[in-house]
Amino acid sequence: MKLGVHIGYWGLGLTREDQLSIVQEAERLGYDSVWTAEAYGSDAATILGWIAGLTSTIKIGSAIFQMPGRSPAMTAMTAATGACCSASGPRGRR
């Protein structure tokens, strides 16, 4: 069994310090993945990039990407760029 943690939407409830603390503790404990989501005004791709830059092994994924807010091509470019830029290789979850 693989464990993951969901940190919710950016700016709703938890502070960024709280979210980072949860993610780093989950990575330290050997969790497989961390998930975020987006709604209008909260971009998941930006948060995933921030998490990837502050962790090294935990996989990252978006529980929700607002397709009406981005084209399929933009979504694919975002995922491809994120995979290419991670120092430890692709960590995105599908």
What pLDDT score does 31 carry?
A: 97
CB atoms under 10 Å from CB of 89, counted, come to 7
CA distance 67 to 65: 6
Q: Which amino acid is at 67?
A: M
* pLDDT mean by block of 10 residues, the chain; 94 residues: 89 84 96 89 85 91 81 83 61 56
Joined together, the tokens standing for residue 30 give: 């050997």
- Domain boundaries, given as residue ranges, for the chain: 4-85
Quote the pTM value.
0.78
CA distance 10 to 26: 18
